[in-house]
Amino acid sequence: MADMTMGRVAQATRDQRSGMQRWLPALPGLLYVVFFVVGFMMVNTPSDDDSNKKWMDFFASRSNQIQMLVSGFLVVIAGMLLLTFLTRLHGRIYAGRAIQDRDPLPLVAAAAAGGLVATGAIVVATVPGAMIFGSLHVPSADILRLTSDMGFPLLAVGGGFAAALAIVTMTRAAQRSGYFGRALSIFSYVAAAAAVAEFMFFPIAVVLIWVLVVSVVLVRRPALA
**Predicted pLDDT of residue 17:** 47
Q: How far apart are the C-alpha atoms of 224 and 201, rounded to whole Å?
A: 35
pLDDT at 221: 80
Residues 97, 173: Cα–Cα separation, whole Å: 11
Q: What is the pLDDT of residue 59?
A: 94
**Confidence (pLDDT) at 223:** 62
Under the banding of pLDDT at 50, 70 and 90, the label for residue 18 is low
CA distances from 33 to 41, 147, 202 (A): 12, 24, 15
Of all residues in the chain, the percent with pLDDT exceeding 70 is: 89
**Averaged over 17-27, what is the pLDDT?**
73
pLDDT band at 118 (very low <50, low <70, confident <90, very high): very high
Q: What is the pLDDT of residues 146-173, one digit of tens each?
A: 998 999 999 999 999 999 999 999 999 9
Confidence category of residue 137, pLDDT binned at 50, 70, 90? very high
Q: pLDDT grade, residue 6 (50/70/90)?
A: very low
Mean pLDDT value across the chain: 88
Query: What are the boundaries of each domain within the chain?
Result: 28-220
pLDDT score of 224: 56
pLDDT score recorded for residue 24: 84
CA distances from 192 to 78, 188, 196, 199, 204 (A): 18, 6, 6, 13, 10
pTM of the model: 0.86
Q: How far apart are CA 14 and CA 142, in angstroms?
A: 59
Beta carbons of 76 and 85 less than 8 angstroms apart = no
Per-residue pLDDT reduced to its tens digit, 34-48: 999 999 999 889 998
- pLDDT of 139 strictly over 70: yes
User: Could you report the per-residue pLDDT of 51-93, keeping only the tens digit for each?
Assistant: 999 999 999 999 999 999 999 999 999 999 999 999 999 988 9
